[in-house]
Amino acid sequence: MTKLKLHIKPIANKEEIPFDLLELADPSRSQINSYLNKGFCFIGCVESKTVGVLVLNKISSTVIEIKNIAVKDTEQGKGFGKALLKYSEKISQELGFEKLIIGTGNSSIGQLALYQKEGFEIDRIEKNFFLNNYTKPIFENGIQCKHMVILEKKL
């Protein structure tokens, strides 16, 4: 089977923002809106259909963060998440940043595997982040999501 290529581009206007995809990664619309306002939003398309999203926020002159990364349920496991991560690295490097960071929940086993396979290293844990910032409890893989694990990759 031929592998389909993901075409990644910056959104051209606000109507292109795929909130359904952003909400796969983040259940809080207020959190999403706060980082969308400050960041760069990209979409990943296959044959003109939007199947992925990526939001980057500048943290400092040297550090940039992936605030949201998601692939449509039916398109997961095909390498598109990795393609979005590689694109984040490339664009962040081109913009002159030295470090790319990403945070995920203690319960996000697949995501922790993916990011480490892509060369991110665990840097620190923000204890109780999800308990303090989200109104509803989050469970994944039978584990309560309480803490934010922050990973980093030097560019």
CB of 94 to ligand COA, least distance (A): 22
CB of 14 to ligand COA, least distance (A): 21
Interface with ligand COA by CB under 6 A: which range of 29-37, 72-80, 90-98, 142-150?
72-80
Find, among 44, 155, 37, the residue nearest to 102 by Cα.
155
Element (H, E) at 121: strand 121-126
Q: Rule CB under 6 A: is residue 78 a binding residue for ligand COA?
A: yes
Site string for ligand COA, 17-46 (x = CB under 6 A): -------xx---------------------
Q: What is the dihedral of CA 85, 35, 41, 46, to 10 degrees?
A: 60
Q: Rule CB under 6 A: is residue 138 a binding residue for ligand COA?
A: no
Phi, psi of 16 (to 5 degrees): -80, -5
